[in-house]
Structure 1
Amino acid sequence: MPKVAVISLFAALSLGLTGCATHAADPGPAAPAGPAAFPVTVGGVAIPHRPDRIVSLSPSATETLYALGAGPQVVAVDSDSDYPPQAPRTALSGLSPSPEAIAARNPDLVVVSADTGGLAAALAKTGVPTVVMPDAKTLDDAYGEFVSLGIATGHRAEGENLARQAKEDIDRIVAATPKPAQPLSYYYELDQTYYSAKSSTFIGQILSRFGVSDIADGAGTGDYPQLSAEHILRADPGLIFLADTHCCGQNAGTVAARPGWSTLSAVKNGHVVALDDDIASRWSPRIVELVRAVSAAVSSAAPAHR
């Protein structure tokens, strides 16, 4: 997905434009997984039987479905769902979904990140349930979505195990990472026009667990402000995280070549961290990989600030 589109989507979701989305952390009553367990209710949506033709219009949900073992039940995913490679990627859009195009896939369950344009109501007329997995605001939200998708697809035990394992792995990684002995700040880059993410965001909350401070806090409006080069240079972050490596070709070299940026502590000390764009912008089970990358970066940068 183009980085500007990602930022726009984040901003829209943070403003609550999720239609009739319900939080996945509260899936509602459900029986144990298995064919006989259905019907189940997830997020207020009744699913009459174990779905065998799932359409996912959310890259995060797509990754989670495959991690749960529900991949064989998935018949189509949106154009931005590029992981895992075997996912049946199509031209379907999660940003501007077409009920007709989705219905043509004959789904018995549709998973989306937002009920854009009244999609759920349109599909309900054809008898297709639509489960909304909204953007995770916290790690607990992400864990809850793993469980909810497990219930919705007949993989409840796998969903619970996935959530438990992710939480244990993340807690262990954070606990094993030495906290900076002196203040350590970071700049998190969403694109090369300096859009960033505050500590109130999902990614910001993850980074905050490592005892580092966000230079975007207090700057601009909203959770994803556009910073100025002057603000970044003035803040002199000890760490720079680049979430625009694949989309926009950014790396330590391009950052150092920006006017004045070679003087930044993060650049001088070699603490410009290239992240995988997709992992950094999704709340799938691969958040463990993101946490591991942040841990390595903080462990490396902290000694330079002692």
Structure 2
Amino acid sequence: MTGFRRLAALMMAAFALLTLMTACATRQHSPVPVVPDDPASAFPAKVSLPGGQPVTLLQQPKRIVSLSPSATETLFALGAGDQVVAVDKFSNYPANAPRTELTGFTADAAAVADKKPDLVIAPDNATQLAEGLKVVDVPVLLTPSAASLDDAYQQIQVIGQATGHGNQATAMVQKMRSDIADIVAKTPKPPQPLTYFHEVSPDLYTATSQSFVGSVYSQFGMVNIADPAGGPFPQLSQEHVVQANPNLIFAADTKCCGVNAAAIAARPGWNTVDAVQRHHVVELDDDIASRWGPRVVDFVRAISNAVGKAQQG
């Protein structure tokens, strides 16, 4: 795996890291119920996220730049797509998002200001960018990586409030909560908790229960074999995975790195792993499995399908 691909994969996981194409998970999330836009009187508005500086918006933004793939998905799902004039290179969903070569990690204030934005949404480590745009009076909403579903819901609400789609955000969050609760409730409960390994990159970087991804798996009472390694995104050894013998393996590096069930089964010693022997290697869509936008429902559904199949033998 090249250094660039490894870095990209880790960024997507930590972004989530930044940024289940199986037959069981091809369904898209249900549309949000149609609700009226926020009234013009909703502005000026002051919005903020935990740990971040409050952002004041004098009027509804009409030229939004999103440097976060999760935020981009949220904006379009909320109906704010027409307000988005540019997104970062990793924002590949939806397909009609106006992608550029900008990134939340390297974009400078001049390059972003050239898009003439009246709101920029960026990851919370883009503080230098935020300071630069402050000089030209461009508000910047810095969004931290979500650590839980509640964090994800809160970001959706704040993005909705900041863009004049607060009502839609409330409806979306309510539906996400309901859909996820329903999926989890209908998933058969195994007699013993299933163990799993979530692969972020072929060199065995992973996500523990301390990460957003891990918090989603936790909804099903599953045990993460990486948790003893500590931290949210450790790198495991081949021996660790083989000895832990997980019941399920989730490959979240299918798009970035071409990993699939056959490639995992061909690794030295992995043919003894329970998940490989029972054909319980799940090929996920990297993006769906690393972002905390509205498609997290599809991620939950993919996990549910895998848990159900694992109990069938």
TM-score by length of 1: 0.90
Residue 282 of structure 2: aligned partner: 273
Matched, 1:283 2:288: no
Aligned counterpart for 1:169 among listed residues 179, 186, 207: 179
Is 1:45 aligned to 2:55, yes or no? yes
d(CA) in 1 for partners of 2:295, 2:140: 24
1:3 positional shift: 4.3
Structure 1 unmatched ranges of 5 or more: 15-31
Q: Distance in 1 between matches of 2:202 and 2:125?
A: 30
Paired residue secondary structure (2:308): helix
Instruction: Name the CA distance, whole Å, in 2 between partners of 1:13 and 1:247.
Output: 15
- Alignment of 1:72 with 2:82, yes or no, is yes
CA distance in structure 1 between the partners assigned to 2:245 and 2:125 by the alignment = 40
Q: Percent identity?
A: 49
Q: Is 1:199 matched up with 2:209?
A: yes
Alignment of 1:237 with 2:237, yes or no, is no
What is the alpha-carbon distance in structure 2 between the residues aligned to residue 13 and residue 48 of structure 1?
Answer: 31
Q: What secondary structure sits across from 1:293 in the alignment?
A: helix
Give, in whole Å, the separation in 2 of the partners of 1:270 and 1:151. Answer: 45
Deviation at 1:4, TM superposition (A): 2.4
What displacement does 1:184 show? 1.5
TM-superposed deviation, 1:194: 0.6
Q: Residue by residue, what CA displacement relative to the aligned partner does 1:275-305 show, whole Å, maximum 9, x if unpaired?
A: 000111110100000000000001111243x
Which of 36, 42, 49 is the aligned partner of 2:41?
36
Query: In 2, distance between residues paired with 1:120 and 1:94?
Result: 11
* Structure 1 segments of 4+ aligned residues over 6 angstroms from their partners: none
- 2:267 corresponding residue in structure 1: 258
How far the C-alpha of 1:124 sits from its partner, in A, is: 1.2
Q: In structure 2, what is the equivalent of residue 123 of structure 1?
A: 133
Q: How does 1:50-61 map to 2 (within 5 A)?
A: 50-61=60-71
Shift of 1:11: 5.1
C-alpha distance in 1 between matches for 2:11 and 2:93: 21
Conservation of the 8 A alpha-carbon contact between 1:3 and 1:190 = no
Judged with a 3 Å threshold, the aligned counterparts in structure 2 of structure 1 residues 263 and 191 are, in CA distance, closer, same or farther, namely: same
Aligned position for 1:140: 150
8 Å Cα contact 1:111/1:132 also seen in 2: yes
> RMSD over aligned Cα, in angstroms?
1.7
Letter in 2 for 1:270: H
2: distance between equivalents of 1:13 and 1:210?
Answer: 20
SS at match of 1:170: helix
* Among candidates 218, 226, 237, match of residue 216 of structure 1: 226
Q: Tell me the residue number matched to 1:247.
A: 256
Number of residue equivalences: 286
Identify the structure with bigger relative contact order (alpha carbons < 8 Å, sequence gap 6+): 2
Measured after TM superposition, the shift of residue 39 of structure 1 is 0.5
Shift of residue 7, structure 1, vs aligned partner: 1.7
CA distance in 2 between counterparts of 1:55 and 1:279 reads 21
Instruction: Decide whether the 8 Å contact of 2:14 with 2:145 is kept in 1.
Output: no
Deviations 1:59-84 (A, max 9, x none): 00000000000000000001110100
TM-score normalised by structure 2 residue count: 0.88
Aligned match of 1:21: none
Report the Cα distance in structure 1 between the residues aligned to 2:7 and 2:311, rounded to whole angstroms: 32
Gaps of 5+ in 2: 18-36, 49-53
CA distance in 2, matches of 1:147, 1:61: 11
- Give secondary structure in 2 for the equivalent of 1:110: strand
String of CA shifts for 1:230-275, please: whole Å, max 9, x gaps.
0111010010000000111111100111011111110111100000
**Partner SS for 2:205:** coil
Q: 1:224 to 1:251 in 2, by over 3 A?
A: same
In the aligned structure 1, how far is the partner of 2:62 from the partner of 2:262?
A: 47
Q: Determine if contact 2:16/2:292 at 8 Å carries over to the other structure.
A: no
Distance 1:69 1:247, change over 3 A: same
The separation in 2 between residues aligned to 1:35 and 1:177, in whole angstroms, is: 43
Cα 1:11–1:111 shift into 2, 3 Å: closer
